[in-house]
Chains A and B, each alone.
Chain A
Amino acid sequence: METGIQQNNIRNFSIVAHIDHGKSTLADRLLEFSGAVTTRESKDQLLDDMDLERERGITIKAHAVRITYQAENGTRYTFHLIDTPGHVDFSYEVSRSLAACEGALLVVDASQGVEAQTIANAYLAIDAGLEIIPIINKIDLPSADVENTREQIEEILGLDASQAIPTSAKEGIGIREILEAIVKHVPPPSGDCNEPLQGLIIDSWFDNYQGAVILVKIVNGHLEKGTHIRLMSTQKNHEVLSLGVFCPKPTVLDRLSVGEVGYIIAGIRDVGDTKIGDTVTEVKRPALSPIPGYKEVKPMVFCGLYTIDTDRFEDLRDALEKLRLNDSSFQFEPETSLALGFGFRCGFLGLLHMEIIKERLEREYRLSLIGTAPTVVYHVTTVKGEVQKIDNPAQLPPVGQIVSFQEPFIKGVIISRSDFLGAILKLCQDRRGTQVDLKYLDAQRVMLTYELPLNEVVLDFYDRLKSVSKGYASFDYEVTGYQDADLVKVDLMLNGEVVDALSFITDRKKSYLRARQLAEKMKTIIPRQMFEVAIQAAIGAKIIARETVTALKKNVTAKCYGGDITRKRKLWEKQKEGKKRMKQVGRVEIPQEAFLAVLKVQE
């Protein structure tokens, strides 16, 4: 194995970009160019190895690949390309990946220009003190406007874009220039090989045979097979059984030294112990302090997950446990709903994280799930003076016991074409937003900064934003903290019985409108039954909306001959199947989509 890499010849960098601006394609080209993989091996977008990642075009977990590059100055350099998750839900993970780098390639699509995630990610990279190399990608597109993109990078991000590299990752244009720029502009890692070990955990995941695999950047010191390491946040000790780097295939090494990025296997069973941002040190000679920046990530968005087939509750538990092996940021605990039976209250970093987990449960574990409307964590102060954290509307204390409510707020950045400004302002207004800033980026584009309650964002805000801006607007946010709020819980009742899974917490001023919309929506969803069904929405004991589904009195096929017989039979079988999938509340049968109705009544 190659040994004795000089610290001076190491370059650690990430690629940051807005979604679809070509980050993954560029990563593939860099790997191909340096011979790490052949074109044939490259299954398009090599670094995204989960199916879901490839389909959604986003990177969910971070990776790091070692590339050897023979530069024009004759020296061989060792690059570590540290891939970062590309979504707001994972901004903490992004910040830790960036903390492992000395440089970043900021990729901007030449036809789209700077977008919301470009800004968010660029600022993360600037905050991390990285050397930033702007890349103007997709110059092969007819709509590419390199000069305008260059101006945007300078004006919006305040970066010197005069050296920005025009590139087409798709066509392989500009790749050598990028590699050379990395050599010239990105500084080698600092740190001292003789200091006590400090390794920054960038990522960790679970391997069925090896246990937890930790991806680590050696910030100071070095480590070898057999080194006894300590995870500083938990103070747990382990022995390094194996270590190496990804080239991109795992390659075992004898030693990882300062500046290198590689993996460690140390017989750790639980990825919950290998927290992203934590510091690995040596038991014998521990570092005085951990690397700064570590924090415990907490789920921001919660929802109930239930199997449609109640017999599969245990399967759901198994599946959740397996998924958690690889993702300690997501939480779950059993809960019971009168309407849906036994299920789990699950906590996620954000909406995308929630969707990904749900989709993986359905796809990889073949579970049919009902997810209740997502909610945030409310802080409720009761008359006893205690603060309760409420992640499920059904758990809210009775109105009389609540003194005050607090809800989480975000600061959101929206970039859009200015023709949609009116519609976007209205949307933000409707979602109780407060404008912080409004800035024209150029004649056509505008950047809005808003403070918004997170609960207004988790309910289809992003979908609505896309819809009112015909897909142009981009959005990114960060959670800023808790603020006082005037909230109420609205319950939905069917023939007098509360459907706990449909209760929601909302702004008092909006409660009547939303209650009415939900009742109307439910009327269209609940099929007629043999008896009348009263749909009522209530705050406490006060009914604020009512709809009625009249009783079914007639369901008969008038003409039933020849071919009608086969057609009808098939139709009835399908309808019967649909009925079996319904959930029963009291005597009332409700289809699954009813539980998502809360999501769809906004506007």
Chain B
Amino acid sequence: MKSVGLYIDFPFCIARCAFCAFHVEGFRSRWATQYIDALYKEIEHYAALSTLADYTIPSLYFGGGTPSLYAPEVLNDLISHCQTLFNVSHNAEITLEAHPATLNPENLSQLFKGGVNRLSIGVQSFSDPYLTLLGRNHTADQAKKAIHAARAAGFENIAIDLIFGLPEQNIHDWKNTLQEAISLSPEHLAIYALSIEQGTLFARKEKEGLLTLPSEDTSILCYNTGRSFLGAAGYEQYEISNFAKPGYACQHNRRYWDRAETLGFGLAAHSCFNGEARANTESIPDYIDALAAGKLPVIQLEKCDPLKSQVDHIIFGLRKTEGIPLELITQTPFLEKTSQYLIQQGWLQQTGQHLQLTPTGMLMADEVAMAYL
């Protein structure tokens, strides 16, 4: 049987973070309730497709935005609705992205009972001044309490996100944050280099010269320190930014790099399903209106071109530490030639029947990708 991962987007937050360029709205906006109705309509439309009968659902991912802003009943109802409509595997990975300030023993316990079995908590830093700078609306202490509460509620798969390369951040501060994170022994850790995206508060500050970002060398040092600290603590790196204890790699996210089929519901959600790539509107009212009018909120739809898919397989597959099977390139002279060039550059290496990024290559993954395009 074929499988497809389901993603559901919740584009509402307490406030916009200083680094965030996603399409989010304040949770109190009038759209928060209508949005859930629209989601149901969209999910039901796809559930009615005969093609989906042949698929099992190994992963369900609630991302955003901040899905944990919704009451646990709302989220649990959605889970059970999906379980009714689709062939969700009994051991499916069901992830919820959560903001530390939204978590408490009560809702955690309810969510756990409702079927959420993986919690991805946006901690970002264990240093309060940085949390303020990032506009996170939570403290390091709140984050720790949330993690403890999740454990107490029964969660056995907890993921933490951290950001490095913050304005004025030095290596010592980053090491502290890493150690704090490791001491909480989450099953999964993602470490992301801060990138200044257009339209964010940080972008504006940078333009005005109000942001002192660490040098490229410091940022590289932070990344490499993260890799060695996490490695020493028993985490395996399985992707450029993702680390997990053995057996805890995120099944859902792996699908993106494997170019395995995924269906995305909600605002700006993307799908790669049944030979088609699809993207939803990035406007909340458009999304709600389209579904209320019985239409799909799709703004982009393309058939997947075989060569393009093959290249996507290579450039996104190489983000994983295991790399890509050699057979993806050996049939096509252009891809083979490019791979040879990248090996000469010291960015790729061949290990057994796989092609992988080298440690230097990990810092140059976008250059590698462009070489294949």
* Residues of A participating in the B interface, judged by any CB pair closer than 8 Å: 530, 550, 552-563, 565-566, 568-569, 572-573, 575-576, 579
- Top 5 nearest A-B pairs (CB, nearest first) are A558-B192, A563-B270, A556-B365, A554-B363, A558-B193
Segment of B66-74, B147-155, B227-235, B261-269 engaged in the interface with chain A: B261-269
Cβ–Cβ contact A575 & B269, under 8 A = no
Cβ–Cβ contact B192 & A562, under 8 A = no
Determine the residue in chain A with the shortest Cβ distance to B308.
A569
Within 8 A of A (CB), among B49-70: 63
A572 to B365, CA, bound (A): 11
Residues 205-217 of chain B, each 1 if its beta carbon lies under 8 Å from chain A, else 0: 0000000000011
Jot down 10 A-B pairs with beta carbons below 8 A, ordered by A. A555-B367, A556-B366, A558-B192, A560-B256, A565-B256, A565-B316, A566-B300, A569-B315, A569-B373, A572-B373
Residues 148-191 of chain B, each 1 if its beta carbon lies under 8 Å from chain A, else 0: 00000000000000000000000000000000000000000000
Collect the chain A residues with CB atoms within 8 Å of residue B363's CB. Answer: 553-556
CB of B219 within 8 A of chain A?
yes
Collect the chain A residues with CB atoms within 8 Å of residue B367's CB. Answer: 552, 555
A576 to B370, CA, bound (A): 6
Cβ–Cβ contact B240 & A558, under 8 A = yes
Task: Find A554's partner among B7, B241, B364 (CB 8 Å cutoff).
Answer: B364
How many chain B residues touch the partner (CB < 8 A)? Answer: 37
CB of B195 within 8 A of chain A?
yes
Collect the chain A residues with CB atoms within 8 Å of residue B217's CB. Answer: 553
Task: Find B270's partner among A550, A560, A565, A572 (CB 8 Å cutoff).
Answer: A565
CB of B369 within 8 A of chain A?
yes
Task: Find B240's partner among A556, A562, A565, A579 (CB 8 Å cutoff).
Answer: A556
Task: Find B364's partner among A550, A555, A562, A565 (CB 8 Å cutoff).
Answer: A555
Determine the residue in chain B with the shortest Cβ distance to A569.
B312
Task: Find A572's partner among B216, B277, B369 (CB 8 Å cutoff).
Answer: B369
Task: Find B319's partner among A560, A569, A579 (CB 8 Å cutoff).
Answer: A560
Determine the residue in chain A with the shortest Cβ distance to B319.
A560
Contacts A553-B220, A554-B220: A566 and B277 contacting too (C-beta < 8 A)?
A: yes
Within 8 A of A (CB), among B256-302: 256-257, 262, 264, 268-270, 277, 279, 300
A558 to B166, CA, bound (A): 14
Collect the chain B residues with CB atoms within 8 Å of residue A568's CB. Answer: 366, 369
Contacts A572-B369, A572-B373, A576-B370: A559 and B192 contacting too (C-beta < 8 A)?
A: yes
Least Cβ–Cβ distance between B239 and chain A, in angstroms? 8
Cβ–Cβ contact B366 & A572, under 8 A = yes
Least Cβ–Cβ distance between A525 and chain B, in angstroms? 18
Task: Find A566's partner among B220, B241, B279 (CB 8 Å cutoff).
Answer: B279
Collect the chain B residues with CB atoms within 8 Å of residue A573's CB. Answer: 373
Within 8 A of A (CB), among B299-321: 300, 312, 315-316, 319
Determine the residue in chain A with the shortest Cβ distance to B252.
A561
For A562, A575, A579, the residue with the greatest tally of chain B CB atoms inside 10 Å of its CB is A562
Collect the chain A residues with CB atoms within 8 Å of residue B195's CB. Answer: 557-558
Determine the residue in chain A with the shortest Cβ distance to B257.
A560
CB of B253 within 8 A of chain A?
yes
A537 to B363, CA, bound (A): 33
Collect the chain A residues with CB atoms within 8 Å of residue B345's CB. Answer: 530
For B240, B268, B366, the residue with the greatest tally of chain A CB atoms inside 10 Å of its CB is B366
Cβ–Cβ contact A563 & B219, under 8 A = no
A184 to B373, CA, bound (A): 74
CB of B362 within 8 A of chain A?
yes
Least Cβ–Cβ distance between A453 and chain B, in angstroms? 37
Collect the chain B residues with CB atoms within 8 Å of residue A553's CB. Answer: 216-217, 220, 363
Determine the residue in chain B with the shortest Cβ distance to A528.
B216
Collect the chain B residues with CB atoms within 8 Å of residue A566's CB. Answer: 270, 277, 279, 300
Determine the residue in chain B with the shortest Cβ distance to A575.
B370
A463 to B40, CA, bound (A): 59
A561 to B270, CA, bound (A): 10
For A555, A558, A569, A579, the residue with the greatest tally of chain B CB atoms inside 10 Å of its CB is A558
Least Cβ–Cβ distance between A171 and chain B, in angstroms? 46
Collect the chain A residues with CB atoms within 8 Å of residue B277's CB. Answer: 566
A550 to B217, CA, bound (A): 11
Collect the chain A residues with CB atoms within 8 Å of residue B216's CB. Answer: 550, 553-554
Cβ–Cβ contact B362 & A556, under 8 A = yes
Task: Find A559's partner among B241, B268, B362 (CB 8 Å cutoff).
Answer: B241
Cβ–Cβ contact A558 & B279, under 8 A = no
* New A-B pairs, 5, CB < 8 Å, besides A556-B365, A557-B195, A566-B279: A555-B363, A558-B194, A562-B63, A565-B312, A569-B373
